[in-house]
Structure 1
Amino acid sequence: MMEKEEDVNVYSPEEIKEKNEEKMKIGLMRNIVEKQVSGCKQQDVDDSTLRRFLRARDLDVEKASAMFLNYRKWKQTFIPKGFVSASEVGNEIAQNKMFKQGTDKKGQPIAVVFGARHFKCKGGIDEFKRFLVFSLDKLCSRITDGPEKFIIIGDLKGYGYRNSDVRGYLAALSILQDYYPERLGKVLVINAPNIFMTLWKIIYPFIDKNTRNKIVFVDNKRMKATLLEDIEECQLPEIYGGKLQLVPIQDC
């Protein structure tokens, strides 16, 4: 993907300096990656991808390069075809738990996830992981020019013990943080019951600082008002007082 040339006039001298430094470090990353991966050329990896890994490691070139190389190795082994098809995650899709829904005020695609519809299925943890990749790739495919992130509304209404899946949640965190860095813009958690807050204490230590800062627990009394801070009413799901119908993630 070719990047658009940015208008430097909209940036301060400090911002221009930071961007030039980041551009230089992306070049250093590319050199490391091309030396480590046989046959990897510039056209195989765009600058925006390298930039996301670089930012995820606070502009540390060595750490970002290692993270990216680990991502490539994972992708080649876990999704050798380069994508996950719906036929590979049929049990997860049947739970009807994830939907694509409009865009927020920044133009970022929105996903709605219903936690009470998640159960450990006969496909096991591997199918759940494939479903995560299937869904995240669907969301990323809806990202347009500008923000490179998506946001998630996590609806926990009706959530109970039978939906608790620590192993699955930790797998989801690992995939999101290790292989889709700087893709998550925000998570708006609504209708969170006490049982989930108990589980949250177990999961919390495994969430990196940057991701923690993106997770917001919404007060039920201010649900619509809080959602409208990020999402226009015309882009909000009907079930939350908006105008749009939910679209299953596999159909977007």
Structure 2
Amino acid sequence: MELRICNPLRRLPLLSSCSYQIKSSQVRRFSVRSCRLDPNESHKLVLQVKKKLEKDHQSLPVGKNGRDDEDMILWFLKDRKFSVDESVERLTKAIKWREEFGVSELSHDSVKSVAETGKAYVHDFLDVNGRPVLIVDASKHLPAVHDHAENEKLCVFLIEKALSALPEGTEDILGIFDLRGFGTENADLSFITFLFDVFYYYYPKRLGQVLFVEAPFIFKPIWQLAKPLLKSYASLVRFCSVETVRKEYFTDATVPANFRD
């Protein structure tokens, strides 16, 4: 099995040894709600960031998800614990990335060919916690066959689609990796790294939890390699069964078809 280890965003050092299983009780749901300021104070900081971006990064686009998007600025401020300088740095990178990646140009038609493989999709229903659900069928991911750039486009398109379905008051989404039938031909460490880096740098705190469902033994070495690269998001991963997905995350009416009895 050949693993392509190429982080397109930033190569990170490997950390110490890692365990394969993470108990449910260890899973931590990030929330920016824990970082709150008085609305007047937070708005002042938003304006500071906005002014600094306008002064130092005039070439950045404006509008939704641009340098003057106050909702986006506030979200990054919360993520960076209201540090103006850190927020400016992260926002600059995120806005540039969105522009270079062509996020605003992604559409159903632009990812249609790879989407038709059924390897990933946004579920039609929310989970029991009111979160949009992004599902990946790992057995249909074939890195030797599918173009990696197209895979990345599909990934970002689906993240955007899931986030657009966030109900009022909900901050994050649920990710489900269906690992039934996973084999060596499906192993793709670079894509896993890309996915979590995208969430970490450009959609911070938007991934609430990740379920690895029915992980086979062959997945163990992949996890051992991937975990150190996932940074804090590794703590969001829960290994579980199909039954757990059905009983703990959905109702009988909303459970995804592939996880029904």
TM-score range relative to shorter protein: 0.7 to 0.9
Cα 1:122/1:226, change in 2 over 3 Å: closer
**Among candidates 187, 192, 196, match of residue 215 of structure 2:** 192
d(CA) in 2 for partners of 1:110 and 1:202? Answer: 25
- Structure 1 residue 138 displacement after superposition: 1.4
In structure 1, what is the equivalent of residue 256 of structure 2?
Answer: 237
Q: SS of the residue aligned with 1:74?
A: helix
In structure 2, what is the equivalent of residue 154 of structure 1?
Answer: 177
In structure 2, what is the equivalent of residue 95 of structure 1?
Answer: 117
In structure 2, what is the equivalent of residue 228 of structure 1?
Answer: 247
In structure 1, what is the equivalent of residue 50 of structure 2?
Answer: 30
- Structure 1 residue 32 displacement after superposition: 2.0
Where in structure 2 are the equivalents of 1:49-60 lying within 5 Å? 49-60=72-83
Where in structure 2 are the equivalents of 1:33-112 lying within 5 Å? 33-38=53-58, 45-79=68-102, 82-101=104-123, 102-112=125-135
Gaps of 5+ in 1: 1-14, 243-252
| Cα distance per residue 1:148-167 (max 9 Å; x no partner) | 32111211000010000112
Q: Which protein has the bigger helix share?
A: 1
Q: Could you tell me which amino acid in structure 1 is paired with residue 89 of structure 2?
A: A
**Among candidates 198, 212, 220, match of residue 234 of structure 2:** 212
d(CA) in 2 for partners of 1:68 and 1:54? Answer: 9
Cα 1:17/1:191, change in 2 over 3 Å: closer
Cα 1:99/1:89, change in 2 over 3 Å: closer
In structure 2, what is the equivalent of residue 246 of structure 1?
Answer: none
Q: Percent identity between the aligned chains?
A: 22
Q: SS of the residue aligned with 2:130?
A: coil
Cα 1:197/1:122, change in 2 over 3 Å: closer
- Aligned Cα root-mean-square deviation (Å): 2.7
| Structure 1, 24-33 or 97-106: larger mean CA deviation | 24-33
Cα 1:131/1:22, change in 2 over 3 Å: same
- Structure 1 residue 183 displacement after superposition: 1.4
Q: Could you tell me which amino acid in structure 2 is paired with residue 53 of structure 1?
A: F
| Structure 1, 192-201 or 224-233: larger mean CA deviation | 224-233
- Structure 1 residue 140 displacement after superposition: 1.6
Q: SS of the residue aligned with 2:105?
A: coil
Where in structure 2 are the equivalents of 1:135-150 lying within 5 Å? 135-150=158-173
d(CA) in 1 for partners of 2:146 and 2:56? Answer: 35
Q: Could you tell me which amino acid in structure 1 is paired with residue 91 of structure 2?
A: F
In structure 1, what is the equivalent of residue 17 of structure 2?
Answer: none
d(CA) in 1 for partners of 2:130 and 2:143? Answer: 33
| Cα distance per residue 1:165-223 (max 9 Å; x no partner) | 112222222222211222111111111111212101111111121x22221111x3xx4
Q: SS of the residue aligned with 1:38?
A: coil
Q: Could you tell me which amino acid in structure 1 is paired with residue 162 of structure 2?
A: L
Cα 1:215/1:52, change in 2 over 3 Å: farther
d(CA) in 2 for partners of 1:16 and 1:94? Answer: 40
d(CA) in 2 for partners of 1:108 and 1:196? Answer: 27
The structure whose RCO (Cα within 8 Å, separation 6+) is larger is 2
Equivalenced residue count is 223
Give yes or no for contact 1:83–1:134 (8 Å, CA) kept in 2: no
- Structure 1 residue 61 displacement after superposition: 2.3
Q: Could you tell me which amino acid in structure 2 is paired with residue 31 of structure 1?
A: K
**Among candidates 157, 179, 197, match of residue 134 of structure 1:** 157
Give yes or no for contact 1:149–1:183 (8 Å, CA) kept in 2: yes
